[in-house]
Chains A and B, each alone.
Chain A
């Protein structure tokens, strides 16, 4: 199994809603990542988890809250988002923070209305 699975594939939410994005991998990877990608732009790193601990937070607003319940799962909790937060949210994993190449999931297309 060399896949990173993200759910849901599409999500539409209002600015007062609370929702969560989920990411799962079963490759035994110990580093997991959240990236945000706007249209026609490259992915931008949001968070890095290494051995289930948050190791990098790229100054992301607190309305995005990551969680790593175990080594296979990564969640991104969303609350009080703005329309400009609409984007493709990508999860990735790698053997370690500085080893192995990152595998990306297919992303969640988020629209904030």
Chain B
């Protein structure tokens, strides 16, 4: 069964204080690992897709990296508007019983104080 574990559960940062969120996963053949941002009461907003170990993607203050066992979301000089829940999800390759399914981690609640 595919599993995703995110840490920490909650993270409080001061504005400008860089940090990283972790996503550890086990999946029967990774098709893709996805990072989403979710604001309270809203749907998840797509951030990145990573497909293979060694891949990196960047967008503004965020950078996502991938190894064979985990992914990191690095946040550089965060601002209060970066406060949200960050969700990591994996999708297995076609052919398995979890075909098409996104398996989510529990999320990391990030709070950035001014």
Could you tell me which A residues sit within 8 Å of B by CB distance? 4, 6, 31, 33, 41-45, 48, 50, 55-56, 58, 88, 90, 97-98, 101-107, 109
Contact = CB atoms under 8 A, between A and B. Distances in A.
Nearest first, the 8 closest Cβ-Cβ pairs linking A and B are A97-B100, A42-B104, A104-B43, A98-B94, A106-B43, A104-B44, A48-B100, A107-B43
B91 interface: yes
B42 A106 contact: yes
A56 B34 contact: no
Given A42-B87, A42-B107, A97-B94, A102 B43 contact: no
Given A104-B43, A104-B44, A55 B106 contact: no
Nearest to A105: B43
B101 interface: yes
Contacts of A90: 43-44
Interface residues of B, number: 24
Interface string B72-112: 00000000000000010101011000011110111100000
B114 interface: no
Helix, strand, loop or mixed for chain A's interface? Answer: strand
A50 B101 CA distance: 12
A101 B101 CA distance: 11
Nearest to B34: A101
Contact of B31 (A33, A45, A98): A98
A103 B100 CA distance: 13
Given A103-B46, A107-B41, 6 more contacts: A42-B87, A42-B89, A43-B44, A56-B101, A90-B44, A105-B43
B103 to A, nearest CB: 8
Which of B44, B46, B49 has most chain A Cβ within 10 Å? B44
Contacts of A43: 44, 87, 102, 104
